[in-house]
């Protein structure tokens, strides 16, 4: 009561208080925006401890639309706009948004040739690099498989993708796809030797590709970790945090693998007990290709390590070639092999597409589309 009477008796003072409360409101809104912005930026910098499962960066997607929404929200309160001026507000919101976009946003399709997604920026060079070796070959499913894998790997910082085709020449569609991702990559070729190609029965799939990857690492990599990631598997991005700090060889379970539905090391009371896999076949390391990662340094110390052209025994042969290396040396990841972070998914095979009736469809979009597919 006393206050209102005071206000009534002093209109100038009343105006000042109203102005002050508007400024207070403004400060609060800007403060809130800054907190949101800081959260967005900070979350991108989240780096996991080596032994825990979590995502290397978890941030709500920030888009041009969300920046525009901030600008619009600030404009809604006309009293604020009147007090500070639309231009200043717009400037603040846009500058904040710009910073957020630079850190978070994957560039639109039309710009992806030149720009890189944030996770590939220099900001993450303090992490040991991950070298992902992917064998691939030309078939109707190749581009869709690589698209899915690329868009998984685009979430992983400080990654170098070695895409190695079982072919004599690079496939243009693959090169174009790789360029659009913004991922640091090498596009190499390593055809399966003719002698194996001609052989009846199961073939050593992806072996010449993976050995080419090892050769590239020996010549170009000094530190970090490498992983053989087939183009058709499904990967949880948390897997890449798990393998990042591998000292020698790390391992984890693989889902959808063999008749057991899973292939994994067995851990009893925290120590190695054996392997669980639907196809043991006398292997010392009865595991899937997707189940282990190796330190680059460890590879350098084993100049003879190589993958054999032996269908079904590629993993075992390679891991044996890392000698001296025994199951007791394995670093178990994915919470002591209790989580599944990769699946041996297999895509249904498709027949090559029918020939296009050029007489009928000349000068239509079908000509371009048909050139893209197998």
Both tokens of 221, joined, read: 């990599």
Q: Which residue is nearest to ligand UGA (CB)?
A: 206
Alpha helix segments (H runs only) across the chain:
2-9, 11-44, 64-76, 78-84, 86-104, 142-153, 172-181, 194-198, 207-220, 238-243, 296-300, 314-320, 334-337, 358-361, 365-372
Task: Residue 84: name the closest of 35, 31, 33, 19 by CA.
Answer: 19
Angle in degrees, CA 341, 344, 279, rounded to 5:
110
**Cβ proximity to Mn ion, 166 vs 230, nearer residue:** 230
Q: In what order do the strands lie in the sheet with 342-343?
A: 234-235, 342-343, 254-255, 262-268, 271-276
Is 105 noted as a catalytic residue in this protein?
A: no
Q: Does 316 bind ligand UGA (CB under 6 A)?
A: no
**Cβ proximity to Mn ion, 328 vs 349, nearer residue:** 349
Question: Judged by CB under 5 A, which stretch of 37-45, 117-125, 172-180, 230-238 contacts Mn ion?
Answer: 230-238
Among 80, 100, 104, 232, binds ligand UGA (CB under 6 A): 232
Instruction: Confirm if 92 and 34 have CB atoms less than 8 A apart.
Output: no
Q: Does 264 bind ligand UGA (CB under 6 A)?
A: no
Q: Does 166 bind ligand UGA (CB under 6 A)?
A: yes
Task: Residue 246: name the closest of 227, 272, 221, 222 by CA.
Answer: 227
The site string for Mn ion over 255-274 (x = CB under 5 A, - otherwise) reads --------------------
Left, alpha or beta for 336 (phi > 0: left; psi -120 to 50: alpha)? left
Given 141, 242, 314, 315, which residue is catalytic? 315
242: partner contacted, choices ligand UGA, Mn ion, none (Cβ within 5-8 A by kind):
none
Q: Tell the residue number behind the tokens 């079904």, with chain if given.
A: 312
**Cβ proximity to ligand UGA, 231 vs 242, nearer residue:** 231
155: partner contacted, choices ligand UGA, Mn ion, none (Cβ within 5-8 A by kind):
none
**DSSP summary character for residue 218:** H
Query: Looking only at residues 272 through 311 of this chain, which bind ligand UGA when binding is defined by CB under 6 A?
Result: 288-289, 311
**Cβ proximity to ligand UGA, 22 vs 199, nearer residue:** 199
Among 209, 241, 246, 263, binds ligand UGA (CB under 6 A): 209
Q: Does 317 bind ligand UGA (CB under 6 A)?
A: no
Compute the distance between CA of residue 176 and CA of residue 135 in angstroms, rounded to an integer. Answer: 17
Compute the distance between CA of residue 345 and CA of residue 261 in angstroms, rounded to an integer. Answer: 11
- CB of 234 vs Mn ion, minimal distance in Å: 10
Q: Does 242 bind Mn ion (CB under 5 A)?
A: no
Compute the distance between CA of residue 368 and CA of residue 374 in angstroms, rounded to an integer. Answer: 12
**Cβ proximity to ligand UGA, 117 vs 311, nearer residue:** 311
Question: Judged by CB under 6 A, which stretch of 64-72, 91-99, 129-137, 325-333 contacts ligand UGA?
Answer: 129-137
314: partner contacted, choices Mn ion, ligand UGA, none (Cβ within 5-8 A by kind):
ligand UGA
Query: Buried b vs exposed e over 351-371: b needs ≥16 C-beta within 10 Å?
Result: eeeeebeeeeeeeeeeeeeee
Query: Looking only at residues 136 through 165 of this chain, which bind ligand UGA when binding is defined by CB under 6 A?
Result: 136-137
Q: Does 232 bind Mn ion (CB under 5 A)?
A: yes
State the residues that interact with ligand UGA by CB under 6 A. Answer: 135-137, 166, 192, 205-206, 209, 230-232, 288-289, 311-312, 314, 344, 346
Q: List the catalytic residues.
A: 315
């Amino acid at each position: 009561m006393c206050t209102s009477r005071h206000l009534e008796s002093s209109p100038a003072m009343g105006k000042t208080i109203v102005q002050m409360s508007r400024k207070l409101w403004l400060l609060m809104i800007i403060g809130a925006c800054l907190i949101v912005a800081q959260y967005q930026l900070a979350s991108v910098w989240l780096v996991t401890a080596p032994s825990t499962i979590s995502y290397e960066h978890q941030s709500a997607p920030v888009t041009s639309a969300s920046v525009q929404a901030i600008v619009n929200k600030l404009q809604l309160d006309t009293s604020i706009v009147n007090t500070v001026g639309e231009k200043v507000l717009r400037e603040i919101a846009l500058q904040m948004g710009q910073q957020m976009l630079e850190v978070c946003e994957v560039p639109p399709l039309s710009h992806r040739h030149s720009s890189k997604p944030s996770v590939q920026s220099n900001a993450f060079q303090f992490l040991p690099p991950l070298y992902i070796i992917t064998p691939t070959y030309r078939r109707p499913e190749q581009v869709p498989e690589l698209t899915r894998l690329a868009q998984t790997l685009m979430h992983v910082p400080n990654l170098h993708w070695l895409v190695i085709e079982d072919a004599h020449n690079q496939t243009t569609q693959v090169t174009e796809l790789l360029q659009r991702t913004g991922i640091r990559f090498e596009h190499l070729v390593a055809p399966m030797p003719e002698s194996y190609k001609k052989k009846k029965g199961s073939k050593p799939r992806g072996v010449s590709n993976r050995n080419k990857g090892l050769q590239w690492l020996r010549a170009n990599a000094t530190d970090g970790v490498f992983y053989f990631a087939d183009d058709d598997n499904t990967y949880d991005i948390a897997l890449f945090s798990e393998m990042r700090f591998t000292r020698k060889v790390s391992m984890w379970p693989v889902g959808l693998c063999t008749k057991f539905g899973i292939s994994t090391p067995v851990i009893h009371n925290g120590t190695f007990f054996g392997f669980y896999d639907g196809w043991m076949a006398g292997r010392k390391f009865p595991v899937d290709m997707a189940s282990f990662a190796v330190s680059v340094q460890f590879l350098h110390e084993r100049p003879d390590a190589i993958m054999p052209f032996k269908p079904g025994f590629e993993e075992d042969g390679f891991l044996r070639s890392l000698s001296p290396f025994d199951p007791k040396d394995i670093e178990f990841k994915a919470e002591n092999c209790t989580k599944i972070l990769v699946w041996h998914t297999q895509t249904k095979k498709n027949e090559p597409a029918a020939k296009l009736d050029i007489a009928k469809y000349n000068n239509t979009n079908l000509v371009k589309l048909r050139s893209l597919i197998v």
